[in-house]
Amino acid sequence: MSDATATVTPLSEAEFIEWAQCELAFVYGERSEEILRRLRQLVSHREEEIDTPARPLWTERSQLLITYGDSILEERDTLPLAALERFLQERLPETFSSVHILPFFPWSSDDGFAVIHYGEVDPKLGDWPQIRRVAEDHNLMVDLVINHVSRESLWFADYIAGSRPGRDYFIELDPNTDVSGVTRPRNTPLLVPVSTRRGTRHVWATFSEDQIDLNYANPDVLLEMIGVMLHYLSQGARLIRLDAIAYLWKELGTRCIHLPQTHAIVRLLRAIMEYVAPGALLITETNVPHHENLSYFGDGDEAHVIYQFTLPPLLLHTLTSGSAETLTEWAATLPPLASGCTYLNFTASHDGVGVRALEGLLPEHEIGALLELMQRFGGFVSMKTDADGNDSPYEINISWFDALKGTRRGADPWQIARFICSQTIMLGLQGIPAVYIHSLLATLNDHEGVTRTGHLRAINRKRWQRANLEQLLDSYSTPTRIVFDALVGRLRIRREEPCFHPEAPQKILHLGPQFFAFVRGPLADGRRLLALHNVTDQPQPVHLPEAFREEKWRDIIGNTSLDVETVVLAPYRSAWLVNDG
Contacts of residue 202, defined as CB under 8 A and 6 or more positions apart, other chains included, come to 172, 173, 174, 175, 191, 192, 193, 194
**Residue 1: its pLDDT value, please?**
42
Catalytic choice (143, 213, 243, 537): 243
Instruction: Find residue 508's DSSP bridge partners.
Output: 518
CA angle 521, 526, 531 (to 5 degrees): 40
* 3 state SS of 288: coil
**Residue 196: its pLDDT value, please?**
96
Beta-strand relationship, 148-150 and 211-213:
antiparallel
The ranges assigned to domains in the chain are 506-578
Strands (E), 288-441: 305-307, 342-346, 353-354, 380-385, 391-397, 406-407, 410-411, 432-436
Is 243 designated active site?
Answer: yes
Contacts of residue 77, defined as CB under 8 A and 6 or more positions apart, other chains included, come to none
* 3 state SS of 515: strand
**Residue 386: its pLDDT value, please?**
81
Q: Using CA atoms in the order 257, 310, 269, 119, what is the torsion angle rounded to 10 degrees?
A: 90
Spell out, as residue ranges, where the chain has pLDDT lower than 70.
1-7, 52, 54, 581
**Residue 374: its pLDDT value, please?**
98
Taking the C-alpha atoms of residue 103 and residue 121, their distance in angstroms, rounded to an integer, is: 9
Say which CATH topology domain 506-578 has: Immunoglobulin-like (2.60.40)
Binding-site residues, in ranges, read 110, 148, 241-243, 350-351, 457
**Residue 4: its pLDDT value, please?**
38
**Residue 558: its pLDDT value, please?**
87
**Residue 388: its pLDDT value, please?**
76
